[in-house]
Amino acid sequence: MNRFIFFALVSVCVSGSYGFLFTKGTTTPEPTRPTGETTQKRTTTPSPKPGPGDAKLWALLVAGSNYYYNYRHQADVCHAYQILHSHGIPDERIVVMMYDDIANNTQNPTKGEIINHPDGEDVYHGVVKDYVGKDVTPKNFLNILTGKKDALKGIGSGKVIESGPNDHVFVNFVDHGATGIVAFPVGELTVKQLNDAIKEMHEKNTYDKLVFYIEACESGSMFRNVLPTDINVFATTASDYDESSYACYYDNKRKTYLGDWYSVNWMEDSDIENLQEETLEKQFEITKNKTTTSHVKEYGDLTLGNLVVGEFQGNKDGPTPKKPLPKVPYSRGAPSYEVPLDILYKRLAAATSAEERDGLTQEIDEMIEKRGILETTVKKLVARVALSHDHENRLILSRPQQINDLECHHNLVKAFSEHCFDFGKNTYALKYAYILANMCDAGLNVDEVISHMRQVCKPVNGIELIV
């Protein structure tokens, strides 16, 4: 099949439902957005602004990926740091986790610099990098968020969120995701782990208000009908429970995407707005309206939307509000799962020599072949555990609207990542993680499913960088 035709077909499939694993020649209509998430109704009475010293602001900024094709994730987080720092949150209360393999990467033509917009300035300068490389892990993230300083001794800067009962905490996570999962360079964080940590913080009274902004595919599944509405937590996500988030701003010079639509939309808004007047709800609405490639969602206690953005992104007047950056000719961008392949096709189209074209063609063929191995392995696993042919089809084709058994889901995710394909290293595998939630909903025995995983995945365990 002509490679350009193949890529077009893949893009069409990914931008709709992901339940096309073993079907061809059909497309799925745009999914209807179900209503009824468990959320707190918002009141219209604005919350009073805190007085000086009423609350300390803390922030945890995480880029959970590595490799140059994921340039955009670290660009997003560096930009977020610049916003918070310029609005008065001191570095000792900002914790940054990023692999830090982009700014000085051999593929980066502007060494020591990272940009988040084609006409944007360097956002890498001055960023405090508390945890880099192998220290960017789910375990460290949870210990930082829950303030376990002793657990971080000898690791990175050792900084944690040491917030108290009057403090506000802002968490911005940017990376790949799937049903009930956000990924790290190695391993993943499950919906159970994240929400257990939030509940622990609430029980220990380590915050007054807590806000999450999460950029990841299917990120709505991290909160949908799981996050309580009465513990002063407000979350917004780049996408609903069943759809990809999208990369944006492909840069021909750097040969990669510079940002993600949800992230650049909220940050470019923060760059130009008065954060002491704009509310979280207004920023959410602006971001939702500008992000046309996915459905930006909100969860938890929606009354927190009446608070001003500055109570989480910095309550001091920042520099003179910037003028809006020049508009970039609209391009839909790429679904996050397809970015590595999309970049290779763009580089192939721009190649100027036969040698370069041959090299890129080989890379594309190898990536497609590895993806085929992954899909065949998943198909074999489903066939092993399914109770019938119809059950097999349901496991593959249905999309769970929520995760009903967090414990089962957590155990199957960790087992698949260990015995089959590490979700952190093989982010394309995340596209099929919803099947694990379906297995839990079907009431399949967890131990038996894991036993089948060990057998089916033994030939492929250890394959890396399917991407």
User: CB-side exposure of 24: number of CA atoms within 13 Å?
Assistant: 1
Active site residue 389: no
The phi-psi region of residue 212 (left if phi > 0; otherwise alpha if psi is between -120 and 50; otherwise beta) is beta
Q: CA 416 to CA 214: how far, in whole Å?
A: 24
User: Is the C-alpha dihedral spanning 100, 104, 109, 110 positive or negative?
Assistant: positive
Secondary structure tally for the chain: helices H, strands E: 13, 13
Active-site choice (13, 78, 217, 457): 217
Active-site choice (79, 176, 419, 452): 176
Active site residue 408: no
Give the angle 430-449-217 at the CA atoms, nearest 5°. Answer: 15
Which residue has tokens 């190898």? 366
Nearest to 152 by CA among 137, 172, 165, 133: 137
User: CB-side exposure of 149: number of CA atoms within 13 Å?
Assistant: 5
The amino acid sitting at 435 is I
Nearest to 287 by CA among 315, 259, 258, 320: 259
DSSP 57-126: EEEEEEE---SGGGHHHHHHHHHHHHHHHHTT--GGGEEEE----STT-TT-SSTT---SSTTPPP--TT
**Helix or strand (DSSP H, E) at 448:** helix 446-457
Residues with a known catalytic role = 176, 217
